[in-house]
Structure 1
Amino acid sequence: MSQGNNPDDTVVEVEFTVTDPRYPLVAMSAATGGDVTLIQLLPRSDGAYTIFHRVSGAPPERFLAVIEEYEGIEGRVVSGGEDAIIEVRIETAGEFFTIGLTDTGAIPTELSSHDGTARIVAEIPSIYSASEVIDEFQAAYPEVEIVARRQKSYAVPLFQQRELYETVLGMLTSRQHEALLLAYVNGFYDWPRKTTGEELAAEMDVSATTFHEHLRSAERKLLSLLFSAR
């Protein structure tokens, strides 16, 4: 991949759409009539990926039934309700365009699906040639259509943000990350709070004491990163 000479704080943002139900993100909304939004994509040390989706418009179990028809995918409900959260574990890259996109050098920032159409927004850092990244991705996934391309700038270089994000993930255990994610997306840190520690503990199938231990450990690690910075 050739490299450009643009400043590190400039990226090319690209928007794609895809309607091929071969891809789980498309199939989930097509089969259920609901909506799917990616919250977080986490690479694992064993080469697998864990993806957290917010789903609505249908029971979360219906979304799981769709994705579990695909080989190499396992899922579970993390948080129920109208805006449920499901965790999807992908064992191999396979035909999953999200992972294929990251492999080309792009960073997905938004992935959602509605009425059988998936929308993907990704940022391509300036060290890569945007045209080459797009061409490589579309050559591997010809079903994906590019619908927009635009340039963006950041006050903080994108790679510095990414390094911070990866550092934080490396500090947390999977249960600490899950507790922190559940607390954040379910309004635990809002005022007034939209949920309680006891309700989130039930979602994780642990005691309230264990949930708060996970959450406080995660918060302590984040604070240590912040206040030990030089």
Structure 2
Amino acid sequence: MTVREPVPHTTTEIELAVRDGDCFFVRLSAETGCLLRLEELIHRADGRLLQYFTVREVAPDDVLRMARDERAIGEARLVGEGPDGNLFQFVVAGPCVTATLADTGAITRDVSAAGGVGRVVATVPAHASVRAVVETFQTRHPESDLLARRERDRSTPVRTKAGVHTVLADRLTEKQYEALRTAYLSGYFAWPRESTAQECADALGIAQPTFSQHVRTAQHKVFTALFDPTGDDP
């Protein structure tokens, strides 16, 4: 009989400071004085990363101009404007801190930058070595320092906003979740609509009919979870 090891209830979280000028978001904050925060990170099927950043205190044209000159940025688009900052969509085609963390098995939790200094928070799963993650990160981004290492409780109460999010997200496939999240962040559900289905599909690197199918199926599953918890998902 095989005895399973108990699943640990804590996970390791690391926080790093990055001053690497080769990192686009760090250099952008240094050269323009803007403030950036990563809102969402999606792994595309072609290996590229789709990132949504809220950027404050800089003109949108300046962000897009710098992005056009950045080799690591394949595409850049302004998808939303608001009093708390502008939301940009970036397709990352080259090395970046989030790609480095993904390569090590760590999960990016938070990325921000101000004044030429980036702050990166990531979760290191139990099967990965914290030391190996940090060493790989500092090798690829030499101007970086480990600021903190702490243990976090893995359990998420269902009766919290985060817990409800977890329950709903668990009903979706990865592709359905990515399509729904991309549609939301891109303003696809806004009125008037800020992005078309084709633009959302292009951001994900998939065909428009595929995107629409994923969104419709994801919406049905979410609505079923909200209004008919006993119903069967398709």
The 1-side partners of 2:171 and 2:15 are apart by 24
Q: Match of 2:120?
A: 120
1:84 has 2:92 as partner: no
Deviations 1:176-198 (A, max 9, x none): 433323569xxx9xxxxxxxx32
Aligned runs of 1:78-157 on 2, under 5 Å? 78-82=79-83, 83-92=85-94, 94=95, 96-156=96-156
Structure 1 residue 165: Cα displacement: 6.3
The 2-side partners of 1:131 and 1:173 are apart by 31
Structure 1 residue 20: Cα displacement: 2.1
- The code of the aligned residue for 2:183 comes to A
Structure 1 residue 29: Cα displacement: 1.1
Deviations 1:133-156 (A, max 9, x none): 222222232221111111111215
1:170 has 2:175 as partner: yes
**TM-score, with structure 1 as normaliser:** 0.74
- Comparing 8-17 with 110-119, greater Cα deviation is found at 8-17
Does structure 2 conserve the Cα–Cα contact (< 8 Å) formed by 1:10 and 1:125?
Answer: no
The 2-side partners of 1:173 and 1:107 are apart by 16
- The code of the aligned residue for 1:170 comes to K
Structure 1 residue 169: Cα displacement: 3.6
Q: Match of 2:195?
A: 204
| Structure 2: gaps spanning 5 or more residues | 157-165, 198-211
Structure 1 residue 25: Cα displacement: 1.1
Deviations 1:166-222 (A, max 9, x none): 944412574x433323569xxx9xxxxxxxx324x1x2268xxxxxx9998343233
Q: Match of 1:193?
A: none
The 1-side partners of 2:30 and 2:12 are apart by 30
Does structure 2 conserve the Cα–Cα contact (< 8 Å) formed by 1:8 and 1:125?
Answer: no
SS of the counterpart of 1:77?
A: strand
The 2-side partners of 1:37 and 1:152 are apart by 22
How much is the aligned-residue C-alpha RMSD, in angstroms? Answer: 3.2
Residue 72 to residue 118, structure 1, CA distance change in 2 (3 Å): closer
What count of residue pairs does the alignment treat as equivalent? 199
| Structure 1: gaps spanning 5 or more residues | 189-196, 207-212
Residue 7 to residue 179, structure 1, CA distance change in 2 (3 Å): same
Identity %: 27
Does structure 1 conserve the Cα–Cα contact (< 8 Å) formed by 2:171 and 2:221?
Answer: no
Q: Match of 2:54?
A: 54
Q: Match of 2:69?
A: 69
Q: Match of 1:181?
A: 185
Structure 1 residue 34: Cα displacement: 1.2
Does structure 2 conserve the Cα–Cα contact (< 8 Å) formed by 1:31 and 1:66?
Answer: no
**TM-score, with structure 2 as normaliser:** 0.72
SS of the counterpart of 1:81?
A: coil
